Structure 1
Amino acid sequence: MTDEFDHPSFLDNLIPLRGKLDQVQTAGWTPGAPVHSSLGCTVHAEQMIPVTDGISLAADICTPKVAGRYPAVVVFSAYSHQLQASGLPTGTNETGEPTVFTDRGYNHVMVSRRGMGRSQGDSVIFFNDTDVDDHVAVIEWCARQPWCDGNVVLFGTSYYAVVQPLVAVRQPPALRGFFGNGLDTDYFRHIAMFGGAPQVDFLTLWMGANFTLAQEKLHVPPIVRAAISHVVNSPLKHLWAPAIQKRMTEIQESFKRKTPDLKYRKLFADWVFDGKTRAAHSIPPGPHQELEKIQVPFVVVEDMSAFNLHQFGAYDLVENAGTPANRRWLIMAPPEYALPVYRWQTEALAFFDHIVHGADNGYAQQSPVRYHADGMKEEEYRGVAAFPAPEGSRVRYYLTSNGDDRQRHGFSADPGQGKNSWAAVPFGAIVPPGLDEAANPILTFEAQGEEDVEYAGAITVSLQFSCSDIDSHVIARLSRIDVAGNLHSLSLGSIRPALRRIDRERSTSVEIAINMDKPEPLTPGEPITLLFSLTPRPVRLKKGEKLRLDVASRTDLLRSDPAHGHEQFEMVVPPYFSRNTIHYGEQSYLDLHRLA
């Protein structure tokens, strides 16, 4: 294995890259002065990093223009890195802006996995052991380079975040810490089979956006990327970016119509048709059962806009990692869905300065958990010692009936009586217009607050449930209704009734993990208990505002649009036409964590 690094091309640096810090950057604080600033950026495009067995991975490496030895920020992904630094709102532009990192004295290394773009070799299964071996090799290669001081950290969103705990478990000697935004720790339940159903909508979008032959073969000269960055990061961005945001659903639908390379279509078929259990599914398990091996400091951001992706992994990591308690931080951020992802770069750089350089910039004084609750001011965060907040306690609100199924039902301190039903119609089914008027598809429970209250912790729904068929699906959404009547989506959870057994070994303090290995068909009309988690979004409920729980069987009925900051994927459920019933009593309730 050789250590070579090509000299920068004059043409590649003729036009400097341009960035624009225009999204949320810190969680409610202002860091102290950076260790370095204004160091400029030099682009070293298409560098080949040797890993093993004669295989090299392609990378774009950006270094500070001021000569010296600096820490390396590695971002490792399954995607082509051709447009990552351009600023274009692609679905994978989640690496941060190279110029932001190099200006502050960090090398920015964007590397594509085997088989993608100009990276050599071939690999289809994501997150496999070979990928992790390669990731470790890239980290150690960077640490040996004359432009690196031997310290390596990790950064990125989504895929770039998911791989971080996976490689941290290996404990590479040069790895000093990582900063991930939106990650998962158990890939089967957090990515492939959310709520007991295959993630076909997300997988179709993801593969169509990133794994077509055109994407695999894409090559954009660095000078063109730099020119694009000046266009998209100009002062006019405030004009076109909102227009893109409004069209986000349409853009996502266009990606779903693209044809992935055949090898990825085969992978999709394997996951959707054959991967019904952990043993049968080819997706690797993830680091869930090895988190105690992680020793380095880290920050994990839970972006609460993604209702059924990248949820629960952050809490699992913070709860079970081997990193000392005072060296791990959790940030729970408000919904913000915007592309490219330029969020959290200032926060990450302050963290890196603290752990790599020992900078006294205020990071050591940050609370282990900082969260933004719905209903707070935009820049306001609450700091607590853990999540759920230790100063709070669990409260239980029983579901109660107000009569006819179509009524707004309520909550009570005492168990309710009777029952109410809703109609479950398969996603995309052909039915007569106006069927909802004959068979209501949603049950709604609502209560108006008598005082100001804040909830911050696990959100659990229990239902005494029966169905007219052998299986169905249950979707629950919690919302805040402000005094003007506007609905603010907070949390979402789902469960397949035939897969209802709790996996206690994989559960955490905020997630009830469900065992999906052995379906247990329902007996029509016979009640069973469903206990499941909703995504834990904190909320500050003011007097006069309402807390609403909607229960249905389809995600499209409870959808929050990406244009409003949420990233939500449809689930092709329920499987059958059925009438679903909630039986009131001690087993039908909403559980919240109320602050003292």
Structure 2
Amino acid sequence: MTDRNFTVIENEWITLKDGTRLAARIWMPEGTEQNPVPAVLEFLPYRKRDGTCARDESTYPGFAAAGIAGVRVDIRGSGESEGVIDGEYTPRELSDGSEIIEWIAAQPWSNGKVGMMGISWGGFNSLQVAALKPPALKAVISIASTVDRYNDDIHYKNGCHLSAQLSWAATMLAYQSRSPDPELVGERWKEMWLERLENEPFFLEEWLQHQRRDDFWRHGSICEDFDGFPIPALVIAGWSDGYRNTPIKAIEGLGDRAKALIGPWVHKYPHFAWPKPRADFLSEAIRWWNRWLRDQLNDAEQLPQMRAYILDGPRPALRRNEDPGRWIAKDVWTAPEMRSFGIAHDGGLASGHSREGIGDVYLRSPLDTGTAAGEYFTLKPDAEMAGDQRIDDAGSLTFETPPLLKAEDYLGQPVLSLDVACNVATANLIARLVDVHPDGTAARVSFGVLNLAHRNGNAMPVPMEKNHKTPITLVLDACGYRFRAGHRIRLSLSTSYWPMVLPSPSDPGLTIDTESLSLSLPLLGDHREIVVPQPANPDPLPQYIAHSQPQTRRTVERDMTRGVTHYTIYEDTGLVEHPDTGNATQDIRCEIWSIAPGDPHSMTGVSTWTCVARRNGHSLKTISKSRLSCTESEWITSGKVEAFEEETKFFEKIFEKRIRRDLM
């Protein structure tokens, strides 16, 4: 069933049981009166009218032409939906999602079977809503998501604080402060806007009050009950994104209910992601939906459990348009065989279980080590991706192999074991797996971070015993990688990874016992090479009217006089008008992180957003500013939102909070 005509319902109101109306945009195949169709829901806070319209218009017409309705709904309090958002993946959000599925299944055009899909937020809540078992939900596709909200999202990673926590809180403060579209909601638009401005939360305050893996983070983490997850899940991610662990964790936890697909991509849908090669996501998804939403026997359940792109020595670059490599399949995923490396007497990284080492080494990295880390989740294949690691290796303890005599292929999560000591309750340890090219260029393959007090788990940290050698195990992020002959494998250890990872309370440094160190890399093992088709349309995103051009800048400034390093991010989307709605929007983000390389309490982050919407000479604007700093015992947060109509400010709100810092 292909090439079916369809219509687009620009705005449909879905009324929830509490009377709140949520706004939906629907791509509806023709002929549903005689032949009801399945539907796919995407449920997001990112504004269907302007925020995600381009990617929606690159995806849902393809579904509708295949006879599958697409239902794109704004979460409560976002876009044109009524109410106020109450947080991230909250019980109310997931309950709303279940109600929407019930509404879809009851429509006369529906065959009663619903799928749920999304990337990032929508990928998260697809899995989370599925775990609630709404009867009409039959399958999900989850892209760039997580099964563990504490360890594989933008908040914390093995007890370390991620700077993305401020970045994301600032983004959501800006997004949720924007006005609904007066054209769709009518005269109530300003009343709705004021309700949001007055009542929206500053997410950072809540996140910082849960610094350990407590019930707040267990909620929505489907790894808490893999056995109870009821339906098939296609789980997709990219090696260039922060959510690369999820496909492996999903198939390990869900077994045959899950299929994994991992490409070279940043945080984007696979049919328009970078770096290339892309994947024909529309065909992939339509096959999945046809199997589970209309019982078509197309062998989707026979897909290999793991399909992965094995990177073949990509180089850091100003822009990575295409990464070398090949697609492989493993029909059944099993725990990989590990190849071990240790430290030889000359300080090199040696294959085998070497226990020679070079004795104890004290390591205390400059606090600005990490400026080549890129973003936790990457939206563009430029400086958001990890750069040449030689910059960060200068502040790290490094061990590397001789040039490899033959290529070595790996797929899975590397594991580092070693004994360390420090003189306070905790410190951060960062490990990076690096591919050293023959000319010295160093490409990051994988990394892992650990707050040492969380070495035995994230719910109940245990302080380090002062100056006592303690065994720790650090599991690095998943990778699919070929180290070419003539390249070297490098292990880089540091106690800082700023600004991605915020410094520990006292930054004491660590004593590393090199004789105890063991690095285990997951061998690719049995596999077969496959072809993953690329999309027929090389540029599926629609083109809108650009009134100004986008700008991107990312700079590092080391003030040698004041002894301060500044890391600055500037993003301007340009003023872009949708040709059908006449609505023109522009978002400008300026984020500045600062630190003195020897003082962990000097850290500050400030993120400022300006969001503009214009139509027919009517201008609306919000300016939001979010700030995070610290002492040894406290996190200091502040936020400010200002709203303007025709450049006249009519609203201002200030958030200020000091939150006790978990010293473990």
Verify same fold: TM over 0.5. yes
Total equivalences in the alignment: 473
Q: Deviations over 1:386-406 (max 9, x none)?
A: 4446xx522221134636xxx
Please report how far the alpha carbon of residue 293 of structure 1 lies from its aligned counterpart in structure 2 after TM superposition: 1.8
1:143–1:149 CA contact under 8 A, matched in 2 = yes
1:94–1:157 CA contact under 8 A, matched in 2 = no
- Cross-structure match for 2:127: 165
What does 1:344-493 align with in structure 2 at a 5 Å threshold?
A: 344-359=281-296, 361=298, 363-375=300-312, 378=324, 380-388=326-334, 392-400=336-344, 402=346, 412-417=352-357, 418-426=359-367, 441-447=395-401, 448-493=403-448
Q: Deviations over 1:200-228 (max 9, x none)?
A: x2233223334327754142869xxxxxx
The one of 137, 147, 161 equivalent to 1:198 is 161
Q: Deviations over 1:157-210 (max 9, x none)?
A: 1110011121112222211211111111222333332121233x2233223334
- Cross-structure match for 2:258: 328
1:426–1:575 CA contact under 8 A, matched in 2 = no
- Cross-structure match for 2:92: 130
1:465–1:583 CA contact under 8 A, matched in 2 = yes
Q: Confirm or deny that 1:144 pairs with 2:106.
A: yes
- Cross-structure match for 1:542: 484
- Cross-structure match for 1:575: 505
TM-score, normalised by the number of residues in structure 1 = 0.72
- Cross-structure match for 2:207: 271
Q: Deviations over 1:500-537 (max 9, x none)?
A: 11xxxxxxxxxxxx3243341441x3221221111110
Please report how far the alpha carbon of residue 86 of structure 1 lies from its aligned counterpart in structure 2 after TM superposition: 3.2
The one of 229, 249, 268 equivalent to 1:316 is 249
Q: 2:219 is paired with a residue of what secondary structure?
A: coil
The 1:354–1:220 alpha-carbon spacing in structure 2 relative to 1, beyond 3 Å, is farther
The 1:219–1:443 alpha-carbon spacing in structure 2 relative to 1, beyond 3 Å, is same
Which fold has the larger relative contact order, with Cα–Cα distance below 8 Å and residues 6 or more apart in sequence? 1
Larger strand share, 1 or 2: 2
Q: Deviations over 1:117-172 (max 9, x none)?
A: 33233341321222222111111211121222222111111110011121112222
Q: 2:412 is paired with a residue of what secondary structure?
A: coil
2:149–2:217 CA contact under 8 A, matched in 1 = no
What does 1:16-415 align with in structure 2 at a 5 Å threshold?
A: 35-37=1-3, 39-65=4-30, 67=32, 68-87=35-54, 97-191=59-153, 192-199=155-162, 201-212=163-174, 215-219=177-181, 266-272=202-208, 274-279=209-214, 281=216, 284-307=219-242, 310-321=243-254, 325=256, 327-337=257-267, 342=272, 344-359=281-296, 361=298, 363-375=300-312, 378=324, 380-388=326-334, 392-400=336-344, 402=346, 412-415=352-355
Q: Deviations over 1:350-401 (max 9, x none)?
A: 2212333444556344211111112188573211134446xx5222211346
1:72–1:106 CA contact under 8 A, matched in 2 = yes
Q: 2:140 is paired with a residue of what secondary structure?
A: strand
- RMSD of the TM alignment (CA)? 3.2
For 1:517 and 1:427, how far apart are their aligned partners in 2?
Answer: 29
Larger helix share, 1 or 2: 1
1:48–1:56 CA contact under 8 A, matched in 2 = yes
The 1:385–1:262 alpha-carbon spacing in structure 2 relative to 1, beyond 3 Å, is farther
1:398–1:411 CA contact under 8 A, matched in 2 = yes
- Cross-structure match for 2:632: none
Aligned-partner residue type, residue 416 of structure 1 = E
Q: Deviations over 1:529-585 (max 9, x none)?
A: 2211111102122322221211112224xxxxxxxxxxxx71112433433221122
The 1:161–1:384 alpha-carbon spacing in structure 2 relative to 1, beyond 3 Å, is same
Of stretches 335-344 and 262-271 in structure 1, the one that deviates more from structure 2 is: 335-344
The 1:100–1:486 alpha-carbon spacing in structure 2 relative to 1, beyond 3 Å, is farther
Q: 1:126 is paired with a residue of what secondary structure?
A: coil
1:195–1:495 CA contact under 8 A, matched in 2 = yes
Q: Matched residues, percent identical? A: 19
Q: 1:402 is paired with a residue of what secondary structure?
A: coil
What does 1:499-510 align with in structure 2 at a 5 Å threshold?
A: 499-501=454-456
The 1:263–1:213 alpha-carbon spacing in structure 2 relative to 1, beyond 3 Å, is farther
2:310–2:327 CA contact under 8 A, matched in 1 = yes
Q: Deviations over 1:9-53 (max 9, x none)?
A: xxxxxxxxxxxxxxxxxxxxxxxxxx322x244221231112222
- Cross-structure match for 2:582: none
Q: 2:92 is paired with a residue of what secondary structure?
A: helix
The 1:41–1:221 alpha-carbon spacing in structure 2 relative to 1, beyond 3 Å, is farther
2:340–2:518 CA contact under 8 A, matched in 1 = yes
Q: 1:212 is paired with a residue of what secondary structure?
A: helix
Of stretches 156-165 and 115-124 in structure 1, the one that deviates more from structure 2 is: 115-124
The 1:452–1:492 alpha-carbon spacing in structure 2 relative to 1, beyond 3 Å, is same
The one of 508, 514, 517 equivalent to 1:588 is 517
Q: Confirm or deny that 1:520 pairs with 2:472.
A: no
2:11–2:24 CA contact under 8 A, matched in 1 = yes
1:73–1:155 CA contact under 8 A, matched in 2 = yes
